[in-house]
Amino acid sequence: MNITHTYNEPSGSEKVVEVTFKCDDPDITHVRTVNAVFDEDDKYNAGLTEERVVEVGLGVKNKIAVGTITAVAEE
């Protein structure tokens, strides 16, 4: 089970990034917001935000493994 993620930097006054987590087996795409990291001068910190996204991704991976996050059923 491999999890990858993609997201864009926050824009304007946004304080979160919308992250798309993609699992290869099972084939699951999970989208959620993650709090972005800003320094004391309110400047976006890309490196620390990436660390936070990776940590959240570990939780997503675990939830997929135990069945809490599943593929969306097709209608």
Angstrom distance (rounded) from CA 56 to CA 33 = 10
pLDDT of residue 29: 95
pLDDT tens, 7-44?
Answer: 999 999 999 999 999 999 999 999 999 999 999 999 99
Confidence of residue 72 (pLDDT cuts 50, 70, 90): confident
Whether residue 75 has pLDDT greater than 90: no
Q: Which of 23-27, 56-60, 69-73 has the lowest mean pLDDT?
A: 69-73
Q: What is the pTM of this model?
A: 0.91
